[in-house]
């Protein structure tokens, strides 16, 4: 069974996380697949929009920690690092459909999406400090820009979970619907985007992101330095060991 289902519907490329036994936690293999799919989509003129989704009851539980810890230093060859930069640089519209858990990268990846739709059972959390770690994927700059400093601190420092209503209020998601409507709505919006002149849409996206693009990339780089340092710390190792004992 493929852990990432890739299918093209007209000018929309659908990337569906498909690791139900692990609540769609991302393995290094999945990161490689996602990076390759986004890289190819960026160059494929037949693809105008990418739709990222999980299952009907779980978007993603974040990193597969055990797999992640065995992948080595966070350098330019690391699959997670390659995915983060590919995501930040992706030039075409990204639409996300979120149901159930969206933990860690399951939430921070949404900060790079252009349109995000969630169902009312969505639950978001950024538990980095709880694991003795720091923000990633540019979230240290993107979340304060979106939600304001105090709310970003609440979610990134305390790691408090929040629901779909809060995500809608802060602007992380565009619309909240019931679970039976989520996939249809996301596909409808993706198809609507894909039907527009692609050059105009991509140019508009680039203009919307022009003031923050370089800062986002700089933030990812700075976060990775601190993330690696903290990952090697005793405090983090103790927290992770406790996580695996639960």
Whether 216 maps to a domain, the answer reads no
CATH at residue 168: 3.90.226.10
Low-confidence ranges of the chain (pLDDT < 50): none
CB 128, CB 106: distance < 8 Å: no
What is the per-residue pLDDT for 246?
Answer: 74
Q: Which two tokens stand for residue 44?
A: 């494929």
Q: What share of the chain is helix, strand, coil (3-state, %, to 5)?
A: 50, 20, 30
Cβ contact 146:89 at 8 Å: no
Given a contact cutoff of 8 angstroms between Cβ atoms, the answer to whether 156 and 130 are in contact is no
Let me know if 182 is exposed, middle or buried by CB neighbors in 10 A (0-12, 13-18, 19+): buried
Q: How far is CA 38 from the centre of its chain?
A: 13
Contact residues for 222 (Cβ-Cβ < 8 A; gap 6+): 140
Q: What is the pLDDT of residues 1-11, one digit of tens each?
A: 799 999 999 99
Number of structural domains (the chain) is: 1
- Cα separation, 79 vs 217, in Å, equals 16
pLDDT of residue 152: 97
Tell me, what's the pLDDT at 214?
94
Enclosing domain of residue 134: 4-194
Q: What is the pLDDT of residue 245?
A: 79
User: What does the alpha-carbon distance between residue 39 and residue 83 come to, in Å, rounded to a whole number?
Assistant: 10
pLDDT of residue 69: 82
Q: Is residue 213 part of a domain?
A: no
3-state secondary structure of 16: strand
What is the reported pTM?
Answer: 0.96
Residue pair 51/190 in contact by the 8 Å Cβ criterion: yes
Judge whether 11 lies within some domain: yes
Tell me if 163 is assigned to some domain.
Answer: yes
């Amino acid at each position: 069974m493929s852990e990432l289902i890739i299918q093209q519907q007209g000018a929309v490329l659908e990337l569906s996380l498909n690791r139900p036994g692990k609540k769609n936690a991302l393995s290094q293999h999945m990161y490689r697949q996602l990076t390759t799919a986004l890289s190819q989509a960026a160059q494929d003129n037949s693809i105008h929009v990418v739709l990222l989704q999980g299952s009907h009851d779980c978007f993603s539980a974040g990193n597969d920690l055990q797999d992640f810890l065995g992948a080595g230093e966070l350098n330019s060859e690391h699959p997670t690092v390659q995915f983060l930069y590919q995501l930040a640089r992706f030039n075409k519209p990204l639409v996300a459909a979120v149901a159930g858990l969206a933990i860690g990268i399951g939430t921070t990846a949404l900060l790079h999406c252009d349109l995000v739709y969630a169902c009312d059972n969505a639950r978001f959390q950024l538990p980095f400090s709880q694991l003795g770690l720091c923000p990633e994927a540019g979230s240290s700059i993107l979340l304060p820009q979106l939600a304001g400093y105090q709310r970003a601190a609440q979610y990134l420092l305390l790691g408090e979970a929040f629901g779909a209503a809060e995500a809608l209020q802060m602007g992380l998601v565009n619309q909240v619907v019931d679970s039976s409507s989520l996939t249809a709505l996301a596909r409808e919006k993706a198809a609507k985007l894909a039907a527009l002149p692609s050059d105009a849409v991509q140019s508009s996206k680039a203009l919307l992101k022009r003031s923050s693009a370089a800062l986002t990339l700089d933030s990812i780089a700075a976060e990775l330095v601190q993330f690696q340092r903290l990952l090697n710390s005793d405090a983090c190792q103790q927290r992770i060991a406790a996580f695996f004992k639960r």
